[in-house]
Amino acid sequence: MTSAADRQRSARMRRRMERLYPLLRSISGDGVRATLDVLAETVPLRRVGVPSGTRVFDWTLNDEWNAREAWIADTDGNRLVDLADHTLHLVSYSTPVRGRFTRDELLPHLHTLPDHPDWIPYRTSYYNRSWGFCLSQHQLDRLGDGPFDVLVDSTLEPGELTYGELFLPGETEDEVVVSSHVCHPSLVNDNLTGLTVAVELAADLADRPRRRHGWRFLFAPGTIGSLTWLSQNPDVLPRIRHGIVLTGLGGGGPLVWKRTRHGDRPVDRAATHVLRRYRSELRDYSPYGYDERQFNAVGFDLPVGRLTRTPHGEYPEYHTSADDLDFVTDAELAESLEALTSIVDVLERDTTYTNLSPYGEPQLGARGLYPSMGGKAASDAVMAMLWTLGYSDGRTSLLEIAETSAVPFERLHAAATDLLGSGLLAEVTGSGGEGERFLRAVGEELGDRQ
């Protein structure tokens, strides 16, 4: 049974997606800025604009694109296809057009999905100057013989690529980057689920009194946006210890973790441990997909994986008007956020401890940590304490103990907290800490005994 807080969170994510859905987003322009404005109502984003023409590694930032109006009409002025009805009707980055066209002249500029005659496809022309309209096959069948009046009131001119960034400092210099793309119009699973779940996570982390890592949230156009951020932040890259790309977090499929390029980074292991309790899949890295492929590129080699639920290209609704607000349920979003938060908690809380009573099992009952009535099977809490004590040798982390024992990480963390409070554990925090001093003392004592 969901709590009132869970229901409020789901309702908040739904309202946010409803507001974002009609905005005309692309890789640049007013739609991106309007999207960031909505996100900034929940978390304080820093907006960054990088001028058109800027060299970004092997790329050059395109001119900024904006579209105010676009339609196809018959000679009586009846609009047959209209951008005002759906943002997918116009091919993204279409050049300006005004004129009268025959049917044969117009057809090469029209895109449909004959196998799904009620759906509108999503098409782009970012780096090839052209124009076009997307419409359902039924609309095309009813279009008539023409001629047709066509208007694309758009601009392609020097401007900027815009992205949003939020940094939440932690107790260490280590950072985690969480990235979601902002460039798709009216595509809910493929765009808005990642944005709204990322914002909820950012708000949760902002409210936490302590954060071990710094958390850096990036809301940028796909591919070119992440490349631009990478080019603008060379000083940040050495501090990134973990990363997660978020997208496709609805749509009914299982949760899917796409591993980092190395496949065994701590974020991979944390995701693997958490997702075993969900209907989920683990996939190896491939250099195709979303912005994880930019972060993992050999020149950066950053430990960034991807969390999705229904990945790109694996559902018929992908990049069509059927990826709408009805395609994603509140329950899917809530579970995706729950799993993500659990992965985050593992990354934040994974610590190495030293057992301060290593000569056999300590007397837990004397410290109020063991049930007063003996003879029963050990409880989950007691087993978690025993596993923690049994492997806390100053070198084995809590996540490693969780992987060995199959005990949920949060249960081990709770056990470690109790043991720490009872003086049975010390955290290994760096040279000179209590755990390190104890390990040296034990080594010296054992040496004396020999």
Mean pLDDT, consecutive 10-residue stretches, the chain (450 aa), reads 81 96 98 98 97 97 98 96 98 98 97 98 96 98 95 98 98 97 96 97 96 97 97 97 97 95 97 96 95 97 96 91 97 96 97 91 77 52 90 94 93 92 85 42 45
17 within 8 A of 325, measured Cβ to Cβ: yes
As for how many domains the chain has, the answer is 3
| Nearest partner of 248 among 203, 294, 205, 290, judged by Cα | 290
138, 157, 176 - which closes a domain: 157
**Residues forming a β-bridge with 101:** 148
User: If you search the block for the tokens 């978690």, which residue do you land on?
Assistant: 384
Q: Is residue 413 a known part of a binding site? A: no
Instruction: Mark whether 200 and 153 lie in a shared domain.
Output: no
353 within 8 A of 420, measured Cβ to Cβ: yes
Give how far Cα 224 sits from Cα of 57, 108, 266, 441, Å.
10, 28, 27, 54
- Per-residue tokens: 265: 């980074």
Give how far Cα 4 sits from Cα of 9, 102, 196, 235, Å.
9, 58, 19, 42
Instruction: Mark whether 216 and 166 lie in a shared domain.
Output: yes
pLDDT digits (tens, 9 = 90+) for 309-322: 988 888 999 999 99
CB-count burial class (<10 Å; 0-12, 13-18, 19+) for 373: exposed
| Tally of CA atoms within 13 A in the half-sphere of 377 that contains its CB | 1
Task: State the pLDDT at residue 437.
Answer: 44
- The DSSP secondary structure of 249-270, one letter per residue, reads --SS--EEEEPPSSS-SHHHHH
- Per-residue tokens: 305: 């994986």
| Nearest partner of 72 among 154, 150, 152, judged by Cα | 150
Main-chain phi, psi angles of 270, to 5 degrees: -65, -45
**Residues forming a β-bridge with 307:** 246, 257
409 within 8 A of 399, measured Cβ to Cβ: yes
Alpha helix positions (H), 142-285 = 193-207, 224-232, 266-275
Instruction: Mark whether 179 and 242 lie in a shared domain.
Output: yes
Task: State the pLDDT at residue 371.
Answer: 61
| Nearest partner of 219 among 342, 37, 87, judged by Cα | 37
Instruction: Mark whether 398 and 328 lie in a shared domain.
Output: no
Q: What does R_g of the chain's alpha carbons equal in angstroms?
A: 27
- Per-residue tokens: 342: 């659990």
Residue ranges making up the domain that contains 213: 4-62+160-349
Report how far Cα 221 is from the mean position of its chain's Cα atoms.
13
247 within 8 A of 198, measured Cβ to Cβ: no
Beta-carbon count within 10 A of 443 CB:
10
pTM assigned to the model: 0.91
Instruction: Mark whether 147 and 177 lie in a shared domain.
Output: no
CA distance 387 to 405: 7
The angle at the Cα of 400, spanning 396 to 405, to the nearest 5 degrees, equals: 115
CB-count burial class (<10 Å; 0-12, 13-18, 19+) for 58: exposed
| Nearest partner of 89 among 152, 164, 148, judged by Cα | 152
CA distance 322 to 50: 33
Task: State the pLDDT at residue 381.
Answer: 86
CB-count burial class (<10 Å; 0-12, 13-18, 19+) for 338: middle
- Tell me the CATH number at 31: 3.40.630.10
Instruction: Mark whether 11 and 93 lie in a shared domain.
Output: no
Q: Is residue 184 a known part of a binding site? A: yes
Residue 10, SS3? Answer: helix
349, 370, 397 - which closes a domain: 349
User: If you search the block for the tokens 């951020």, which residue do you land on?
Assistant: 229
| Nearest partner of 249 among 193, 186, 167, 293, judged by Cα | 193
Instruction: Mark whether 378 and 442 lie in a shared domain.
Output: yes
Task: State the pLDDT at residue 3.
Answer: 80
Give how far Cα 168 sits from Cα of 38, 83, 318, 412, Å.
19, 39, 33, 27
Q: Is residue 213 a known part of a binding site? A: no
Alpha helix positions (H), 143-183 = none
Instruction: Mark whether 153 and 164 lie in a shared domain.
Output: no
pLDDT digits (tens, 9 = 90+) for 175-212: 999 999 999 999 999 999 999 999 999 999 999 999 99
Instruction: Mark whether 307 and 167 lie in a shared domain.
Output: yes
- Per-residue tokens: 43: 């978390």
Instruction: Mark whether 168 and 249 lie in a shared domain.
Output: yes
Task: State the pLDDT at residue 62.
Answer: 97
- Tell me the CATH number at 88: 3.50.30.90
pLDDT digits (tens, 9 = 90+) for 353-398: 999 988 888 878 777 776 643 433 458 888 898 999 999 999 999 9
349, 365, 388 - which closes a domain: 349
- Tell me the CATH number at 424: 1.10.10.10
**Residues forming a β-bridge with 99:** 150
Count of H-run helices and E-run strands, the chain: 13, 19
**Residues forming a β-bridge with 243:** 177, 304
User: If you search the block for the tokens 């390990």, which residue do you land on?
Assistant: 439
| Nearest partner of 406 among 431, 384, 426, 436, judged by Cα | 384
Instruction: Mark whether 299 and 414 lie in a shared domain.
Output: no
CA distance 156 to 178: 30
Instruction: Mark whether 333 and 443 lie in a shared domain.
Output: no
Query: Residue 19 carries which side chain, given as an amino acid letter?
Result: R
| Nearest partner of 295 among 349, 245, 334, judged by Cα | 245
